[in-house]
Amino acid sequence: MSALLTNFKKQLPKKRDSLKKFLKKFDKQFVPNVQKMIDEADKQAWAETDCLECANCCKVMTPTFTKADRVRISAHLNMTEQEFYDKWLMTDKDNGDKVNRIQPCQFLDLKSNKCSIYEIRPLDCATFPHFKRKPFAGYNHIHDQNIEYCPATFKFISLMQEKIEKDYKW
Ligand code: SF4
Ligand code: SF4
């Protein structure tokens, strides 16, 4: 396991409760200048995180494949959309999303941690872990889940917590 993941797994149990409490509170508060903090935390989190040392999202989570994703990727693989679905996907019974049937993702090269369809990967993968989605608070529940798996999210939310608790009494 990489140093990045080892360190993340060591830190997570120590900070999980505090980060989750912060996200819950953040849901209900207005924080002025929050976009500036988001931009700074985003920059710093990525400066300290190399996804090629991790690929945990591709190993333990599944993206949602939209219709456009399925059309684009199946064409790239010279398959029909139905063949692509039958080979790799299933339908989530709770929400109807089309998701991977296996983990790690079939498109992950486990030696290099690189995505073999990077240029045409699902939109969900391209925008993960959604730090810049707006409104930020609308994605708190997503960050709350991703803290469990994603070192970049863990770092990003830790930085947001530090910045907000330093500047605001709440
Ligand atoms: S997005 Fe998060 S979980 Fe995925 S590879 Fe990067 S740090 Fe790891
Ligand atoms: S499609 Fe690529 S980026 Fe998305 S989960 Fe699979 S390997 Fe990872």
pLDDT at 165: 86
pLDDT at 170: 65
pLDDT at 156: 96
What is the best residue among 65, 107, 118 to mutate for testing ligand 2's pocket, by most ligand atoms within 8 Å of CB? Answer: 107
Q: What is the pTM of this model?
A: 0.92
pLDDT, averaged per 10 consecutive residues of the chain (170 residues), comes to 94 96 84 87 96 97 98 98 98 97 98 98 95 79 94 96 82
Shortest-distance Cα residue to atom 5 of ligand 2: 58
Query: Domain residue spans in the chain?
Result: 3-58+129-167, 62-127
- What residues are paired with 14 via a beta bridge? none
Shortest-distance Cα residue to atom 8 of ligand 2: 58
| Closest ligand 1 atom to Cα of 128 | 1
Distance, in Å, from the CA atom of 144 to the CA atom of 153, rounded to the nearest integer, reads 9
pLDDT at 135: 76
161 lines ligand 1 (CB under 6 A): no
